Chain A
Amino acid sequence: MANPMMQAAEFMQAMQNELHKNLTRWSNWMSDFIVSPAEPPMAQTPRDLVWKRGKIQLYRYPSQAAQRQPLPYVMVPWLGISRPYILDMLPGHSMIEYLVQQGHEVYLLDWGVIAEEDKNLGLEDIVFKILPRAIDTILALSQAPALNLNGFCLGGVITNGYLSLHPDAPVRNYIAIVTPVDFEQGGLLKTWLGHAAFPTDLLVRQYGGIPTSLMGMGFKMLRPTGDAASLSGLWFNMNKKDYIPIYKAMDRWANDFVGMPGRFFSQIQHELYAQNKMLKGELMLQGRRVNLRNIQQPMFVAAASKDHIVPPLAAKGLLGAVGSQDKQFMELPGGHISVFAGRQAHTMLWPALHAWVVERSAV
């Protein structure tokens, strides 16, 4: 048995250290949350607005490396729910910054702040009009023969639809990150949105879509202890000065919800969550069947092991449904967002993605 005196001394030392940490925590809290509560500036990677349609904006982030990658890298984020600036969160913690530093010319399609006037925006408009035009613009600007296409979350549903309905699309490689495809495996969202009692039509009729407040409430409900866990994490790490700006940035983004167009939500709820039509090959857009087998590009699929929005099995379903021969699946530790924007993404997902794309991008 250990010497009780030694144990007591060690305990006192630990208490003293903890007291010191607590003083630092209070001091940092005063300085960073009371005296200067401003959030750190986000989305700092230099960019140009190169195309605009309504609220939809296409940004170009020029390559920052001496050796430029031959094909542009196009990011299609989720439509509605939240803003895509998490992809360029803070200098040193930004996926876009990482890619441009590796020589990629990155393009980001920002859907803007969705509101009631966008209620008629549906998958058809995006798949047949908006995305093809954005891609035309990118090819004209970059003078490249093809591009690398990266869909995130529901943005992946859009890119899946686009590639299935445009088998001749100028896309060399396809990357789907936390993209739901097998909606039967969609976790809590499948249980709620897939249930016949969910009043989608009434909601769309009344609000024209999902309003911001409801979107926020829905996502908070998915993880009711999320805010408590996040605040606890902040307190435990408050003594580390470099933790605070990342917390502030993440917290701002995590509470900056946007709505979703009624028509798009209706399609996602009725056709995908309730009936899983995309995976079954039954989804019709403008009278044409979305056949995932038409996707022939080399494919990289990433999922997060603790994703409560798109569980790994929901994302993995894409691999078996497409016609691609060259397929890679990566299940990484982390949650829905942290897998591509968290601290570990810098050492795990981004380098793997860069290496995979470079290997397949020779012109």
Chain B
Amino acid sequence: MNNEEETPETPRGPEHRLRKELPQERPADADAPGAVEEAAGPEEPEAALTGRQRLAQGLWPPRVSRAQLIVALLLFGLGFGLAVQVASNSDSGSALRGARQEDLVRILDELDDRTQRLQDEKQGLEDQRSELENSSDRAEEARKQTAEKEKQLGILAGTVAAQGPGITMTIQDTKGTVQADMLLDAIQELRAAGAEAIQVNGVRVVASTYLSDSGKSVSVDGNKITQPYRFQVIGKPQDLEPALNIPGGVVQTLEKEQATVAVERSTKIVVDALRAAEQPDYARSSSQ
């Protein structure tokens, strides 16, 4: 389809004959040593132009002719297309630009698969995350509840200080007639009336508290206390005070022993006497 193939069908007079002469000339040129060839060069233009001379002639001087312009236009198109193609191919982002349809379909399928896989993985990881969050939430909740419970139990066991509304009962026993059982009755009465934390003269009263007579005074858990006996009780004052004052109750019994009893309500009682937590030696929880 190029010029050369079509020349046989388009006879071109003298130039065509020149073209046919060329093959015969060439072997002669090829055989000749370089120096001879150089010498032969100048002779040729009269007979026939060599390709090199034709090239030089074509290049210089520039001739503006219809043929040149048309060829320039076509070559412009070629150069343009070439540059555009090269540029678009070397574009790093558009490696897919030159890909064929089936390749693109395959790539798309692979991407879809990959997307699916990654989605699944993401789903799994999110599930795992929410699970962990839940469990950590639960652990947090359990920890909070444990701390809460610890405080409550600590108040009961006397290992933490407590404060709240309650009453203060002061027993003046100048004659030394008050005995441990009377104080125990008072404590029982307070407990029955809903006392939550009790301390007597700086000794915390808990479940294992015992009172005993010790000469003219009383000892609580082995700590000897002297009168006046000062009970600080946290509970509902409206319940505690009447419980002590009922006829035949603690207050009357004590006053019969010639002790003076003063009960006063307070909105803020601080029970800050502490006991060390004791690990039971024999009793074990049976709930497991």
User: Do they bind each other?
Assistant: no
Q: Which residues of A contact B (CB under 8 A)?
A: none
Q: Which residues of B contact A (CB under 8 A)?
A: none
